[in-house]
Amino acid sequence: MSVFRTPQVILLSDDLPRAVDFYRRLGFTETFRVPTDGEPTHVDLVLDGYKIGIASAASTRDDHGLDPVTDGHRAAVILWTDDTAAAYEALVAGGAPARASPYAWLGRLLIAWTADPDGHPLQIVQPLTRPARAQR
């Protein structure tokens, strides 16, 4: 059996430049792009050691012969923070959809939900050290 390393999630996008711009605004840094010049078909970004890739649905179909699904909730990106309410408010004010305002979960976490431009759910999570003031 082979040994695996460096796992990564690839999100499919119908508008790759828009998706890359969204994740850059969240603090992700671009680490890889194909092609290096012109309209990209795949971009990798990293935040705090975690890498995600964004690939164009057209490239996935045309270059790899797959039939990608680009709608619905296919994956979720989880972002930990020290202030879920403030992060959620900033994302929504910046145009992200308001899916679920901050609420306490399991008595240990404060969670909110929004989405990236392609509809992938984004869960904003904060560990609670004292009772939460949920906005619900």
CA atoms within 13 A on the CB side of 121: 14
- 9-13 and 77-80 strand pairing: unpaired
Show the domains of the chain with their CATH numbers.
Answer: 9-64 (3.30.720.120), 77-127 (3.10.180.10)
- Sheet of strand 42-47: strand arrangement: 9-13, 50-56, 42-47, 29-34
Q: Is the pLDDT of residue 33 over 80?
A: yes
Please report the pLDDT score of residue 61 as a whole number. 86
pLDDT in tens, 37-50: 998 999 999 999 99
Which of 24-33, 43-52, 127-136 is predicted least confidently?
Answer: 127-136
Please report the pLDDT score of residue 40 as a whole number. 93
Length of the chain: 136
pLDDT in tens, 45-96: 999 999 999 999 888 888 888 888 777 777 888 899 999 999 999 999 999 9
pTM of the complete model: 0.77
CA atoms within 13 A on the CB side of 48: 7
